[in-house]
Amino acid sequence: MIAAYAPATVSNVACGFDVLGFALDEPGDVVLVEPACEPGVRIAGITGDQGRLTRDPRRNTASAAVAALLDHLQTRTGVSLTLHKGLPLESGIGSSGASAVAAVVAANELLGRPAGADVLLACAMAGEEAGCGAAHPDNVAPALHGGFVLARQIAPPDVVRLPVPDGLACALLHPHLSVNTGMARALLGETVPLRDAVRQWGNLGALVAALFTSDRALLARSLEDVIVEPRRAPLVPGFFAVKAAALAAGALGCSLSGSGPSMFALTSTLDDARAAGEAMQRRFAEHSDAGADLYVSLVGRAGARLVTAA
């Protein structure tokens, strides 16, 4: 039996809609794989999902990703999966991507490590497409590689790994709400005013430069989203008040994680992340009785990795 862990991820990162993402150290998902007698992929069990995830191996992101790997390798090996969900569903922190990545990393190890990182990324994306209807590398790429990742293109996947300034940390607030990704994407429409596009391009380029130069001040100025955030903010009660609380507590920037409802705040230190996260949690409680979980972590450099099976 082989077990692999893949972490939560923050995608979009304010100004980088569909192209930028980063990994946390924790929380994350664990997938266990072991040989099966029958060819193909089966799901032996899932924990932590409250019975919500499909056990159909063609539609579950983890099993579909492993099936894509077996197809690529042209093998009829049988594989059995057990998923341990540490990430909430429909949370905006890469839950489906983490399962897909952990599954292909564990399966690849079980098979003798025949596939490289590029193949694992493509297979994880295929798993996400089967399970969620769309394949985007801005969650699966940082879950696989760790750190910050720029997804230049989807097909074929072309991802650029970016440096992580020392000490950079994240507070991640997960309200106990669900946001459907398809509905959140429909809010965006099909057109963007040129002035907004130009401002967003400038912010994205500056953010990448800030990562390479470890320029915290430039990073803070760049964490501005003039296109997506204004349209999706109403999905989270008290969004702008929570964001203001994070900034007042010392965060470099704050925005939605993925399509929400989770919100992230980037900070210069882990202590700052704790302070910002606690301020966000308090302020959210003033606007909603839904409750919210808080995760505090360094920006994760490791990405997916093998772990000891429980």
pLDDT of residue 309: 67
- Is 128 an annotated catalytic residue? yes
Phi, psi angles (nearest 5°) of residue 225: -120, 110
Alpha-carbon separation of residue 192 from 11, 134, 199 (angstroms): 20, 22, 11
Which two tokens mark 186?
A: 């429909």
Say how many domains are in the chain.
2
- Tell me what pLDDT residue 84 has: 97
Strands 40-47 and 78-84: parallel
Domain check: are 55 and 136 in the same one? yes
156 and 194 co-located in one domain: no
In this structure, the answer to whether residues 262 and 145 fall within a common structural domain is no
Report the distance separating Cα 276 and Cα 113, nearest Å: 41
> Which tokens sit at 178?
């669900």
Q: Taking Cα atoms as reference points, which of 35, 34, 30 lies closest to residue 6? A: 30
Q: Is residue 109 among the annotated active site residues? A: no
The CA dihedral of 93, 192, 148, 258, to the nearest 10 degrees, is: 0
Are residue 193 and residue 151 in the same domain, yes or no?
no
Range of the domain at 107: 2-162+301-307
With tokens 């079980």, the residue in question is 110
The number of beta carbons lying within 10 Å of the beta carbon of residue 47 is: 11
Per-residue pLDDT of the chain (310 residues; tens, 9 = 90+): 999 999 999 999 999 999 999 999 999 999 999 999 999 999 999 999 988 899 999 999 999 999 999 999 999 999 999 999 999 988 899 999 999 999 999 999 999 999 999 999 999 999 999 887 777 899 999 999 999 999 998 888 899 999 999 999 999 999 999 777 777 778 888 899 999 999 999 999 999 999 999 999 999 999 999 999 999 999 999 999 999 999 999 999 999 999 889 999 999 999 999 999 999 999 999 999 999 999 999 999 999 999 986 5
CA 281 remoteness from chain centre: 20
- Degrees to nearest 5, angle at CA 161 with 126 and 83: 40
Q: Are 129 and 58 found together in one domain?
A: yes
Listing DSSP states for the chain in one string gives -EEEEEEEEEESTTT-TTTEEEEEEEEEEEEEEEEESSSEEEEEEEESSTT-S---TTTSHHHHHHHHHHHHHT---EEEEEEE--S-TTSSS-HHHHHHHHHHHHHHHHTTS-S-HHHHHHHHHHHHHHHHS---HHHHHHHHH-SEEEEEETTTTEEEEE---TT-EEEEEEES----HHHHHHTT-S---HHHHHHHHHHHHHHHHHHHHT-HHHHHHH---SSSHHHHGGGSTTHHHHHHHHHHTT-SEEEESTTSS-EEEEESSHHHHHHHHHHHHHHHHHH-SS-EEEEEEEBPSS-SEEE---
The Cα–Cα gap between 61 and 53 comes to 10
Could you tell me if 124 and 19 lie in one domain? yes
Do 124 and 233 fall into the same domain? no
Q: Give the span between the Cα atoms of 67 and 75, in whole angstroms.
A: 10
* Selected catalytic residue, list 181, 224, 269, 278: 181
243 and 195 share one domain: yes
Peptide bond into 165 cis (omega under 30): no
Distance CA 159, CA 144 (A): 11
Whether 145 and 183 map to the same domain: the answer is no
Q: Do 60 and 99 share a structural domain?
A: yes
CATH of the domain at 281: 3.30.70.890
Distance CA 248, CA 233 (A): 19
119-149 tens-digit pLDDT: 999 999 999 998 877 778 999 999 999 999 9
pTM as predicted: 0.94
| CATH code, domain carrying 67 | 3.30.230.10
Say yes or no: 157 and 268 in one domain. Answer: no
